[in-house]
Structure 1
Amino acid sequence: REHGLEYLFAATLLTGALQIAAGYLKLADLMRFVSRSVVTGFVNALAILIFMAQLPELTDVTWHVYAMTAAGLGIIYLFPYLPLIGKSLPSPLVCIVVLTLVYLVSGMEIRTVGDMGELPDTLPVFLWPDVPLNLETLMIIFPYAIMLCVVGLLESMMTATIVDDLTDTPSDKHRECRGQGIANIGAGLMGGMAGCAMIGQSVINIKSGGRTRLSTLIAGSVLLLMVVFLSEWVSRIPMAALVAVMIMVSIGTFDWASIRDLRKHPLSTNVVMLATVAVTVGTHNLALGVFVGVLLAALFFANKVGNVLHLGSTERHAGREREYRVVGQVFFASSERFMAAFDFKERLDRVIIDLSRAHFWDMTAVQTLDRVMIKFRREGTDVELVGLSEASATVVDRYTVHNDPQAVDRLMNGH
């Protein structure tokens, strides 16, 4: 808007290049950090947004629109039960054809596709963005290209996960990243803007029997040919027919089991799912909604794992020695509990800390262990660590400072 349409095309080209790079760098592996509750929230939010997008077509309209929409939903849900032909034709397509014929015959006054704007009448042509190839242009388009890349890949990877579940087949997420990048470069070179996977069309495709990438190619190709060469007919399709199809998509996309299972699932899982839905619907920002969901899931997980820490102790040699046994994960969320479990004022000659069933994960855990060692020594107590696993020993041996007097002073003084 600030720099002109040509910069949109340039940003689209850069978006494609970044997505191809993301595919080769295997950044799609980061999707494993997106929990199932976030994916469920994403799906439900998209279903709600799809439904909300249809409301303008159902507001301040005549009764004909409601009748046509209801008839369309009836065809979509009842047609598959017809013998012989019910399973051979996609019911959404039948809905569009039948309602278009009804509109043409009746001549009723309702909105059509042609009322939404002018359809293209030529095939796309090659178009190189008319922008200067310099650092200033890069600085203008790079922030937008990064956002387009992240949001596009995020929505596409989550859509791929949903499609995998619906079809019970795996998909190569890295290949999807590269393919999307190549497609966006192609779009930018033909005067188009960046795009990504579309959950609505994907669900329609699967519900209609599509199972391979060929179905997607055919869908796009037929749509292109229809809007260019059959625009006169396409423009006569009543919007009520498309509204009925998209309402079907929103109903089919929403995970109704997630509502039924609210009482069964843990509170943290429900909070993550509902927060993802609320933020996505409230801001219409997919990336922000998923970010909030992932952040909450991580916080709940860290809190849960941090609470799975047990410290017990046994007194030995008439109160002169005590053995502490640590069981669980020691990291930033559990370090305070680890520290609070020791009695530094107890007059002991020796303390043994058994770590054979514990694991130290980060610098916070190592520094807490340092503080425990230093405090016991300052009270005149000899401390011995036993049972460190190989992984924990690697971290502890590399980063502990309790044997360095200068480092001890810095640590205890908070530097």
Structure 2
Amino acid sequence: MTAARRALSEWSPNVTRDLLAGTVVALALIPEAIAFSIIAGVDPKVGLYASFCIAVISAFAGGRPAMISAATGAMALVMVDLVRQHGLDHLLAATLLTGVLQIAAGYLRLGDLMRFVSGSVITGFVNALAILIFMAQLPEFVGAGPVFYAMVAGGLAIIFLLPRLTSVIPSPLVTIVLGTVLAIWLGLDLRTVGDMGALPTELPSFLLPNVPLTFDTLWTLLPYSLTLAMVGLLESMMTASIVDEMTDTTSDKNRECRGQGLANIVSGLFGGMAGCAMIGQSVINVTSGGRGRLSTLWAGAFLLFLILVLADWVRQIPMAALVAVMVMVSIKTFRWGSLLALRTNPRQSSFVMLATVAVVVLTHNLAQGVLVGVLLSGLFFAQKVTRAFSVTSSLDEAGTSRTYSVTGQIFFATADAFHDAFDFREGVDRVVIDVGNAHFWDITAIGALDRVVLKLRHHGVEVEVTGLNAASATMIERLGTHNREGAALASGH
């Protein structure tokens, strides 16, 4: 496929479905952007402008078609202290710096690190996010009357039953439109989008943050920007992997890093806060039929159209209809099969998944949960590799030469076991260390080999290392010391 045809397929595999899916996303973005602005302690327009800018720029520059990026709760939580202590201008400056850091991460190919995130961590991340999405809807139920519950139940019925009759129009869109029409027609006393906060009445304008250009300002912003960049990239990379799986396609993670950085720079220059990919809105987009970049572009553009031109109608959208859509997202996001798999999966994999869920839900911090999951995965992997490591030995008939046969991976976790497998006071004349079925991975492993060889030589034993593969031999030649000391002894120095 040529580059032009590939680009065209990314933009509009199905124009109608992309436009309809983007419409649903835009409607669902409004209350969330307002809510996230309130969390961060800024005016609602800051989150709405950010969602518009980030969605539009990501449509062109992002690495994952059909993924929705905008203002998010995870990023808003990081901004609270910065806004409280220094104000909006510092937040906008931090957003610009966040974008620069994310672009640098893209060029450093940090997106490739997603290969080290195990399937158990991704499953735990997805399940935790589904739980958080559902929990975020619970405040709407507090003090709500039977009309609210009836509309949520009716909305869920439409969402799950309508696709059995027709898939021409996304069922979440039908739920929002019908809910709004019923609420207006019957004069229902329901909390609406307008109750969340004031909608902006003008286009975002270009502005530079009014902050001193000093090192003090940089040191003030840097911790927040680093955290925002990390949280944003992590959530975006995980969301991209989920959309990859849902659509059976691939994405360019490093391009997504760069695209997100550019989107945040544009957002900061037009009065918006930093944002990243939204798994909930991305799931809405994909389940509504969105597959191309057009759905992301339309979601951002239609969002601006809604808040500036159709604001009077948007204010009347009942929150019950949007709650029904988000409950659907949480239900479809959660991997229910993972609960049954707890009985069949290896206990360590299940523990990693559950630990990831627990940390994310308890801290409401996706980055911390994924970090814990990755660390646990690494520890369990090292433990598994350690168990596969072994050293056996045999003595020749004359009783003067012993051969040690090493099997497995020699690295920091097995280096001590490798060293302790040797008997340095046996009294043989010669020792052969056969590593034909082993591999040396790091400087700790090389150091363990050096200690073994040099200690045996100290006891007057002739030592020969055999079976080294090319990679291990190169590392030992570059980092090892026993060969150099052996050569010095042989030359009489």
Does TM-score exceed 0.5, indicating one fold? yes
Alpha-carbon distance in structure 2 between the residues aligned to 1:22 and 1:217: 24
Shift of 1:62: 0.9
The residue aligned with 1:411 is none
Higher relative contact order (CA 8 A, sep 6+): 2
2:85 is paired with a residue whose SS is coil
Aligned-pair RMSD on alpha carbons?
1.5
Letter in 1 for 2:164: Y
Alpha-carbon distance in structure 2 between the residues aligned to 1:176 and 1:331: 34
Aligned ranges for residues 139-154 of structure 1 at < 5 Å?
A: 139-154=219-234
Q: After superposition, what is the alpha-carbon deviation per residue over 1:186-226, rounded to whole angstroms, capped at 9, x for unaligned? A: 11111110000111110001011110111111111111111
Question: Does residue 34 of the first structure (1) align with residue 120 of the second (2)?
Answer: no
The residue aligned with 2:491 is none
Aligned ranges for residues 6-45 of structure 1 at < 5 Å?
A: 6-45=89-128
Shift of 1:7: 0.5
Structure 2, unpaired ranges of 5+: 1-83, 486-493
Question: Does residue 288 of the first structure (1) align with residue 368 of the second (2)?
Answer: yes
2:276 is paired with a residue whose SS is coil
The residue aligned with 2:274 is 194
The residue aligned with 1:316 is 396
- Alpha carbons 2:477, 2:483 under 8 Å: kept: no
- Alpha carbons 1:307, 1:334 under 8 Å: kept: no
Shift of 1:255: 1.1
Alpha-carbon distance in structure 1 between the residues aligned to 2:480 and 2:270: 59
The residue aligned with 2:186 is 106
- Alpha carbons 1:306, 1:331 under 8 Å: kept: no
In the alignment of these two chains, the number of paired residues is 403
Alpha-carbon distance in structure 1 between the residues aligned to 2:483 and 2:250: 52
Alignment partner of 1:257 out of 323, 337, 355: 337
The residue aligned with 2:136 is 53
Shift of 1:403: 6.1
The alpha-carbon distance between structure 1 residues 288 and 314, as it changes in their structure 2 partners (threshold 3 A), is same
Q: After superposition, what is the alpha-carbon deviation per residue over 1:254-287, rounded to whole angstroms, capped at 9, x for unaligned? A: 1112111111211111111111111111101111
Alpha-carbon distance in structure 1 between the residues aligned to 2:321 and 2:171: 12
Letter in 1 for 2:160: Y
Shift of 1:91: 0.3
2:280 is paired with a residue whose SS is helix
Alpha-carbon distance in structure 2 between the residues aligned to 1:42 and 1:249: 15
The residue aligned with 2:410 is 330
| TM-score relative to the length of structure 2 | 0.79
Question: Does residue 66 of the first structure (1) align with residue 146 of the second (2)?
Answer: no
Alpha-carbon distance in structure 2 between the residues aligned to 1:73 and 1:300: 41
Alpha-carbon distance in structure 1 between the residues aligned to 2:386 and 2:234: 29
- Alpha carbons 1:272, 1:297 under 8 Å: kept: yes
Alignment partner of 2:426 out of 337, 343, 346: 346
Alpha-carbon distance in structure 2 between the residues aligned to 1:398 and 1:324: 24
Q: After superposition, what is the alpha-carbon deviation per residue over 1:335-378, rounded to whole angstroms, capped at 9, x for unaligned? A: 12212222223221211111122111112111211222233233
Identity of aligned residues (%): 61
Alpha-carbon distance in structure 1 between the residues aligned to 2:264 and 2:455: 60
1:192 is paired with a residue whose SS is coil
1:357 is paired with a residue whose SS is strand
Shift of 1:404: 6.9
Alpha-carbon distance in structure 2 between the residues aligned to 1:283 and 1:136: 30
Letter in 2 for 1:90: P
Shift of 1:317: 3.1
